[in-house]
Amino acid sequence: MKYIDEFRDGDAAGRLAAAIRAEADPARTYHIMEFCGGHTHAISRYGLEDLLPANVRMIHGPGCPVCVLPVGRIDAAIWLARQPGVILCTYGDMLRVPGSKRLSLLKVKAEGCDIRMVYSTLDAVKLAADNPDRSVVFFAIGFETTTPPTAVAIKQAAALGLSNFFVFCNHVLTPSAITQILDSPEVRELGTVQLDAFIGPAHVSTIIGSAPYEYFAEEYQRPVVIAGFEPLDVLQAVRMLVAQINQGRFEVENEFARAVTRDGNPKAKALVAEMFELRKSFEWRGLGLVPYSGLRIKEAFAAFDAERHWDVPADSVADNKACECGAILRGVKKPTDCKLFGTVCTPENPMGSCMVSAEGACAAHWTYGRFRDMKASDAS
C-alpha cells in the first residue's frame, strides 16, 4: 500500500538504525522527546527503542489528547451528562477515562445517563437534528488536528438552525505545551529531565505547519523534527535530530514533507480562527495551568457553547494519588515506575488516562513493551 508498506520496511529500518548507531557520539547521551502519542505508539509497537543505541533515549511526551485532559474536565463532562434532557456524545476513548470518585462516562451511562459514542463531529450534529426535544452536547477534545472538525460541526449546526446543539470545548494547543515542558522546574532548574530535542507531531503539523515550532527551537535552543507516524519516519527523525545535536544546530526540520508544509492548512486555520479564541489559561493533566494553551468558543457562536448555556463546574480536581500519569506526561517517569502498572491498572481497568487510549504511554507500553521487559528480565 502506498505510503504505508514502504515506511514499514524492515531492511530499510535496519539500515537507518545502523546509521544512527554509527553517527551517535558514544561520548554523549541524546535525550529525545516524542511529543505525540502517535509516535509513542509507533515506538512501542515496532520495538524501535531496541534498534537504537543505548545512548539515544526516547522520552514520552504529553501529546495524547485523551491523556492530558484533567480530572476536573472529565467530572464536568459527567456533570453535563447528568443534566435533564441531555445527550452527551464524544469519541470512544473518552468514555473510559476515569474522573474522580472512580467514575467515568461509561459508568454513568450504566446508571442511565444518555451518553453516545460518535465517530465524527457531524454524527453529533445529526444526533441533534434527530432529537429536537433534547440537548445534544458534544464533548470536544484534542489538539489542533481535531479542532477544525469541531468548527465545521458548529457551522453546520448554525446552518441547520439547530438550537439544541452544544459543544463542551476542550481543544488544546501543542506549542504551548512544549513551551510549558521546557519551562518546567524539572527541565530548567532541577535538571531531573534532560531534553535535547523533540520529534514534532505529524497530524497537528498538517494543520498548523512547521512555523509555530521555530520560536522555541530558537529560544530554547532545542532542535525539532516533524515526523510521520510510521516506523521509518520515526527512525529518520531520530537520525536527523542526532545530526542536528552533533552539529550544534537547533532548527525545525520536516521529515513528514509528504503532508506538512511550513504554513500548514490555511483553510483549516482560518476556520479555527473564526470560531475559537484563546483561553487565558487551561489546566492540563500533569502540566497544571498552562497559559494560552486552550481554546474557547467565540462570542459570535456563544449559542453553541455548553459552558455558557450551563453553569458547568470548573473545579480543579486532584489526580488519583497512586497514578503517575502526571509525571509520565511531563517525561519525569516511565509507565513501569507506577506501582499500579499492569497490576491494578490495565487497559481493561484503567486507573489513569494514560492507560485508556492506544496513544497513552501506559497503554502502549502494556500492549507492546511489557514483553520486552519480560524478555530482558529472562535474560538477566
Kindly list the residues in this chain that would bind ligand SF4 in the complex (CB under 6 A): 323-325, 328, 335, 338, 340-341, 345, 350-352, 354-355, 362
For ligand SF4, the closer CB: 127 or 364: 364
Least distance in angstroms from the C-beta of 362 to ligand SF4: 3
| Dihedral of the alpha carbons of 256, 195, 43, 343, in degrees to the nearest 10 | -150
- Give bridge partners of residue 166 from the DSSP assignment: 137
For ligand SF4, the closer CB: 207 or 354: 354
Least distance in angstroms from the C-beta of 33 to ligand SF4: 18
For ligand SF4, the closer CB: 58 or 328: 328
Cell of 371: 514483553
In angstroms, how far is CA 149 from the centroid of its own chain? 16
Q: Which residue's CB atom is positioned nearest to ligand SF4? A: 352
Least distance in angstroms from the C-beta of 171 to ligand SF4: 23
Least distance in angstroms from the C-beta of 60 to ligand SF4: 11
- Residue 74 CA to residue 69 CA, distance in Å, equals 7
Q: Tell me how crowded residue 340 is: count the other CB atoms within 10 A of its CB.
A: 19
Least distance in angstroms from the C-beta of 211 to ligand SF4: 34
Cell of 299: 462570542
What would the DSSP string read from start to end of 46-97?
TTHHHHS-TTEEEEEEEE-HHHHS-HHHHHHHHHHHTSTTEEEEE-GGGGGS
Least distance in angstroms from the C-beta of 37 to ligand SF4: 13
For ligand SF4, the closer CB: 332 or 354: 354
**To which residue does cell 529525545 refer?**
32
Q: What phi-psi label fits residue 138: left (phi over 0), alpha (psi between -120 and 50 degrees) or beta?
A: beta
For ligand SF4, the closer CB: 126 or 370: 370
Cell of 100: 474522580
Q: What phi-psi label fits residue 281: left (phi over 0), alpha (psi between -120 and 50 degrees) or beta?
A: beta
Q: Tell me how crowded residue 169 is: count the other CB atoms within 10 A of its CB.
A: 24
For ligand SF4, the closer CB: 8 or 333: 333
Least distance in angstroms from the C-beta of 109 to ligand SF4: 21
For ligand SF4, the closer CB: 146 or 357: 357
Which residues are CB-contacts of 348 (< 8 A; sequence separation ≥ 6)?
none
